């Protein structure tokens, strides 16, 4: 599983396609000229863009390396594990409070 933004994808090429789709259609300024970005092809390790001049002319092809990132989103198992840890902390705090309250009640009322 690979992550792009807030979504995870099954394959590296699907993640690359998702990343490329965020750039396609945008306009960039380079060297004082405006270019429209289009996606030519997507591979597991690279994205090929074509920069088409707004004023007309030959397109410039750019091959950008792409390194897919492993999915780091929380899963159900992660949430369950975290939930049990939070519950354990609450039980621990309650137990400490309970025993301290009993200790001070016995000592303050002369029940030694």
Domain boundaries, the chain: 2-70, 74-112
d(CA 78, CA 87) in angstroms, rounded, equals 14
Q: What's the CATH number of domain 2-70, 2.30.30, 2.40.50, 2.10.25, 1.10.3470?
A: 2.30.30
Q: Is the pTM of this model over 0.85?
A: no
Q: Which residue has the higher pLDDT, 48 or 104?
A: 48
CA distances from 57 to 24, 30, 36, 40, 86 (A): 19, 15, 12, 17, 61
pLDDT at 75: 83
Contact by Cβ (8 Å): 43, 12: no
For a pLDDT cut of 70, what percent of the chain falls above it? 93
d(CA 83, CA 77) in angstroms, rounded, equals 10
What confidence tens digit (pLDDT) does each residue in 57-95 have? 888 899 999 999 999 888 888 899 999 999 999 999 999
pLDDT at 30: 83
d(CA 68, CA 19) in angstroms, rounded, equals 10
d(CA 67, CA 43) in angstroms, rounded, equals 10
d(CA 85, CA 78) in angstroms, rounded, equals 11
The residue-averaged pLDDT of 28-57 equals 91
């Amino acid at each position: 599983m690979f992550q792009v933004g807030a979504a995870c994808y099954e394959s590296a090429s699907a993640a690359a396609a998702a990343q490329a789709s965020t750039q396609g259609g945008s306009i960039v300024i380079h060297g004082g000229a405006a270019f429209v970005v289009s996606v030519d092809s997507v591979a597991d390790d690279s994205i090929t863009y074509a920069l088409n001049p707004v004023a007309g002319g030959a397109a410039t092809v750019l091959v950008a390396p792409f390194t897919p990132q492993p999915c780091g989103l929380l899963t159900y198992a992660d949430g369950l594990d975290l939930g049990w840890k939070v519950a354990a902390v609450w039980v621990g705090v309650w137990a400490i409070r309970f025993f301290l309250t009993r200790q001070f009640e016995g000592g303050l009322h002369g029940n030694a």
